[in-house]
Amino acid sequence: MPNEETIELVCVTDANYAPHFSALLKSIETHKGPENLRVHAILDSVGSDLLAQIRAASPALEVIDYHVDSHPALNLPPIMHISRATYLRLIMTEMLPPEIDRVLYLDIDMLVTRNLLPLWRSDMHGYPVAAVQDHNLSATKLANTFGLPGEGRYFNAGMLLVDLKAERANGYLTKALDCLIANPSVYEFADQDALNQVLWQNWTILDNTWNFQRAFVNDNQIYRDSGTDQQNLPGIIHFTERWKPWKSDEWHPYAWLYWKYLRQTPFFDEIRKRDRIGYGRLLKFWLKYQLAILRSRVAAS
């Protein structure tokens, strides 16, 4: 493929999550090849100085900023650990240039461990969205709650490969936002539930390695099959649920990787002090990571 190939990445964040966004971008930049990678950052209350720090930390990435000061999406209530900025992914077609036909959306609480081109080039088989199944949540429960027909699967919305041409023609994201605005209390998992509702039986499944969720850690089959690179790491690690690698109660075996990439940004000391992560805790993260790599290699052998 020519060097002109460009991955169009979409992320959303607020000022509080901006340092974690920087760690994600550093992980992406580390594994970037000759392809171009353009990051469309849809932002809620992120100042120019903070944005400049993020750009400076990952100079090989082109970061285009879209600032949202007011929008009905920002009036939706935060749910659990989900900030209101998360809802801004539902307005990406409003923000992005019309000539962009495909985008890769990534949540901020993720890390990338390999080149994204294989994911970017995935065959979507004519569907508007490609995603990884969320094995921890029930499609049957969703179908019963919203009266959806037949059988389907439930996807995790942390990583979405989106056909924007299909989205502009059918307005799936807008429909999901409208559902949330009309009755937010019925969506236990916020916009992820709404997206699964409007895309019921209308998405294609991707390999688990591209959205390795917390529940997968305890599934030996998924754990083994997802670790296909040289270090036996999944392609995209997603720190789902309430625990996060920047918190002292995190137990994820790959939490160390977050600190590895954050240390290459201006935010390492800020986050470590803000969340009271001492060097002893970092050592525990590192040791647990080494054991996880050993486990992956044994499982793959």
| Each residue's pLDDT tens digit, 124-166 | 999 999 999 998 888 999 999 999 998 999 999 999 999 999 9
Instruction: Please tell me the predicted confidence (pLDDT) of residue 222.
Output: 60
Single out the residue of 229, 19, 231 nearest to residue 115, CA to CA.
229
Instruction: Please tell me the predicted confidence (pLDDT) of residue 1.
Output: 39
pTM of the model: 0.94
Instruction: Please tell me the predicted confidence (pLDDT) of residue 262.
Output: 98
Question: Per-residue pLDDT averaged across 22-36, rounded?
Answer: 97
The predicted-structure confidence for 57-89, as pLDDT tens digits, reads as follows 999 999 999 999 999 999 998 777 778 999 999
Question: Taking 80 as the threshold, does the pLDDT of residue 299 lie above it?
Answer: no
Amino acid symbol at 264? Q
Residue boundaries of the structural domains of the chain: 6-208, 220-236+243-300
Instruction: Please tell me the predicted confidence (pLDDT) of residue 2.
Output: 44
The predicted-structure confidence for 199-252, as pLDDT tens digits, reads as follows 999 999 999 999 999 888 876 556 555 554 556 789 999 999 888 999 988 889
CATH topology of domain 6-208: Spore Coat Polysaccharide Biosynthesis Protein SpsA; Chain A (3.90.550)
Instruction: Please tell me the predicted confidence (pLDDT) of residue 89.
Output: 97
110, two tokens: 């993720």
Instruction: Give alpha helix (H) positions in the chain.
Output: 18-30, 48-57, 92-95, 117-120, 139-146, 164-170, 172-182, 190-198, 220-226, 255-262, 268-274, 279-300
Residue % of the chain over a pLDDT of 90: 81
Categorize the per-residue pLDDT at 300 as very low, low, confident or very high, splitting at 50, 70 and 90: low
The predicted-structure confidence for 175-214, as pLDDT tens digits, reads as follows 999 999 999 999 999 999 999 999 999 999 999 999 999 8
Question: Per-residue pLDDT averaged across 26-39, rounded?
Answer: 97
Task: Give the H or E element holding residue 8.
Answer: strand 6-14
Single out the residue of 266, 262, 264, 261 nearest to residue 53, CA to CA.
266
Instruction: Please tell me the predicted confidence (pLDDT) of residue 224.
Output: 58
Instruction: Please tell me the predicted confidence (pLDDT) of residue 48.
Output: 96
292, two tokens: 């996880």
Question: Per-residue pLDDT averaged across 90-118, rounded?
Answer: 97
